[in-house]
Homo-oligomer: A and B are copies of this chain.
């Protein structure tokens, strides 16, 4: 298995998510990072590239797309790890050159950018992947497979939440700055973590949100984006749910939890016990399914690396997205979020903003 040649846009020194992408790309040996435009600041782009020992360092993503496409040993895929408002342009540049794109979420900062990007995807021979990390967790895939196999029966209720506390106070940091700037992020908690919750719920259940009623709040004085999201969900087919995303919930680091209840059983998964999935067949004792343990389905084993009891975590989940992308690029079967998930997330953000602006009226994403 030859490693795919990977490039990166964004992710210069001090960036958080860029390094996560690099670890994820590296972990299973599917990718080799060989080129990058790591910053729009030329000096920082150079320095960051050198720190990483990159063979080819660019200061401009457009030039990088052209130059790499022209090389026989040019990159086969590129990771876009810039702030949200800078996803669309570089993604389109590489797609136009036939280079596969692995893009951080949410898709873009604006609906317009999203539409442009979708058009570029449709026009390109290359693939587009979106790193909705939580769908990479083995036990999330186990949950998806169990729902698909009818283990919980017809779904009635879906509860999903993503709670953090890091924005409880007015924080100045590279991360906080762009995430709380509407121009660069597009939205606050609803885009940054609400989309993760939305994606996790729809990924596992296979259900589509038909309508939602949302209340967005901004609690911290001076904050220009939402930092708390409440939403009631109506799923196509009759299931009901609720979604809570908060960045002002002291005691919660990255507390992602999904619960799915059907007429035959229930599922419960949390990131803080990511290698476990609690499953209850109605009328029987709760079962604790573990990654690679008894009852693990192929869908979960496929994205597991070590024996049960040795925890795999966030980086492994992220690496599963990369591994699945690699498989897809190689033409193998793979389950990996793409442009449709990105558009769905944008529609979810938009619906939340519209509903909240209309005092919680039910709106369709």
Q: Which residues of A contact B (CB under 8 A)?
A: 1-3, 16, 19-20, 22-23, 26-29, 51-53, 152, 156-157, 159, 161, 164-166, 168-169, 213, 215, 217, 219-220, 228, 230-232, 234, 240-242, 244, 246, 248-255, 259, 261-268, 271-275, 278-290, 293-295, 305-316, 359-360, 362
Taken together as a complex, chains A and B put the C-alpha atoms of A52 and B29 apart, in Å, by 9
Residue in contact with A29 in the complex, picked from B26, B215, B288, B310, CB distance below 8 Å: B26
In the complex, chain B residues whose CB is within 8 Å of the CB of A228: 156-157, 240
Does the CB pair B169–A282 fall under 8 Å?
yes
Say whether, besides A285-B295, A287-B285, A293-B285, A251 and B232 are in contact (CB < 8 Å).
no
Residue in contact with A253 in the complex, picked from B244, B267, B307, CB distance below 8 Å: B307
Task: Return A342 CB to nearest CB of chain B, in Å.
Answer: 22
Q: Nearest CB to that of A217 among chain B residues? A: B240
Number of this chain's copies in the assembly equals 4
In the complex, chain B residues whose CB is within 8 Å of the CB of A283: 294
Most B-side CB within 10 Å, residue of A157, A166, A286, A290: A286
Q: Nearest CB to that of A268 among chain B residues? A: B251
Say whether, besides A232-B230, A246-B261, A285-B295, A309 and B252 are in contact (CB < 8 Å).
yes
Taken together as a complex, chains A and B put the C-alpha atoms of A307 and B318 apart, in Å, by 14
List 6 tightest A-B contacts by C-beta distance, closest first.
A253-B309, A254-B309, A251-B280, A311-B313, A250-B266, A310-B314
Say whether, besides A282-B250, A294-B283, A362 and B362 are in contact (CB < 8 Å).
no
